[in-house]
Structure 1
Amino acid sequence: MAKRYYIAYGSNLNVPQMRMRCPHATILGTANLTGWELLFKGSKTGSYLTIEECEGGTVPVVIWEVKESDEAALDRYEGFPTFYYKKDIKLKYKGIRTGKRRTVTAFAYIMHEERPIGVPSNFYIRTCLEGYDTFYFDKNILLDAYDKCREVCGYEG
């Protein structure tokens, strides 16, 4: 079985949550996904993060190495292929232990684009923010996406 690399950008930045869901997954490093932006989209049951291509955008991500059983668990969690589909993206990450840069092709879950913009629960936002804290990511990227989606949905700032 070839090694599989997974791009996490939302609640799966939350290490304790990932450890429970994917016990064999290993954190390899962090990267910036340039040319992409974060959006909250979803359905009547709730809104969650997704990424969409966007000129000038950037999304901080964590690269995980996952085993087949981990990927199966992620598929279930992400509602693949109904809610999210998978896309392979080539990117360069910085090793968490070594600091060395490596280029890999990793898969990301992307919500089907026709899903409407929505506002996530406070619990979901907190889960994502904990991940941002863990990896020292710029929280404004996440909060800007949140504000933008609230605006689209007609919430007053």
Structure 2
Amino acid sequence: MKRYYIAYGSNLNVQQMRWRCPGARIIGTSELQDYRLLFKGSKTGSYLTVEPEKGCTVPVVVWEVTDQDELALDRYEGYPSFYYKTEMTLDVKGIRTGKLRRRRAFVYIMREERPYGVPANSYLSICGQGYRFFGFPVDKLLEACQYSRERMKYHEGR
């Protein structure tokens, strides 16, 4: 059975994905409806995640992955302690054909109790490369930084 993976952060970077998951192939692009992109993390750094929020959207890439690729992604994402996995069904615009196909795919979401944070420039750069490659609006990343910075200040002030 084919497995599909939804990427919204550093795994939009094709070069990085080719190295990490050599069996993966790009299926197409989509959007997560009613989700917000934001940064959360730990003492080692802040990374992208998504959380439900009405009216927001997050551009994503859907990859077809092998079992070995999924294991590599589990390790990279710190599954199950840092990120957990959930399944979503979404309309994917084919990378070659432009046709819309409904696909069920898994996505990693950071544990919600993690604190808001601001990413390292190097991580932001890797994500930005993926955004530009797929023609996604880089403003989404900047909005996520601003939102997370404001939330971080709010929570520190409590």
For this structure pair, what is the TM-score category when the shorter chain's length is used for normalisation? over 0.9
One-letter code aligned to 1:126: S
Q: Residues 1-157 of structure 1 correspond to what in structure 2 (within 5 A)?
A: 2-154=1-153
5+ residue gaps, structure 2, are 154-158
Aligned-partner SS, 2:116: coil
Across the two proteins, how many residue pairs are aligned to each other?
154
Q: Which has the larger displacement, 138-147 or 86-95?
A: 138-147
The alpha carbon displacement at 1:30 in A equals 0.3
Q: Deviations over 1:12-35 (max 9, x none)?
A: 000000000000000000001111
The alpha carbon displacement at 1:151 in A equals 2.2
One-letter code aligned to 2:101: R
Q: Distance in 2 between matches of 1:24 and 1:68?
A: 9
Q: Percentage identity across aligned positions?
A: 61
One-letter code aligned to 1:62: V
The alpha carbon displacement at 1:144 in A equals 0.3
The alpha carbon displacement at 1:141 in A equals 1.1
One-letter code aligned to 1:22: C
The alpha carbon displacement at 1:121 in A equals 0.3
The alpha carbon displacement at 1:152 in A equals 2.4
The alpha carbon displacement at 1:140 in A equals 1.0
Aligned-partner SS, 2:41: strand
Q: Is the 8 A contact 2:115 2:152 kept in 1?
A: no
Aligned-partner SS, 1:153: helix
Q: Distance in 2 between matches of 1:6 and 1:135?
A: 16
The alpha carbon displacement at 1:153 in A equals 2.7
The alpha carbon displacement at 1:142 in A equals 1.2
What TM-score do you get using the length of structure 2 for normalisation? 0.95
The alpha carbon displacement at 1:58 in A equals 0.1
Q: Deviations over 1:102-136 (max 9, x none)?
A: 00110000001110101110000000000000000
Q: Distance in 2 between matches of 1:140 and 1:8?
A: 17
RMSD: 1.0
| Runs of 4+, deviation exceeding 3 Å | none
Q: Distance in 1 between matches of 2:126 and 2:21?
A: 16
5+ residue gaps, structure 1, are none
The alpha carbon displacement at 1:139 in A equals 1.0
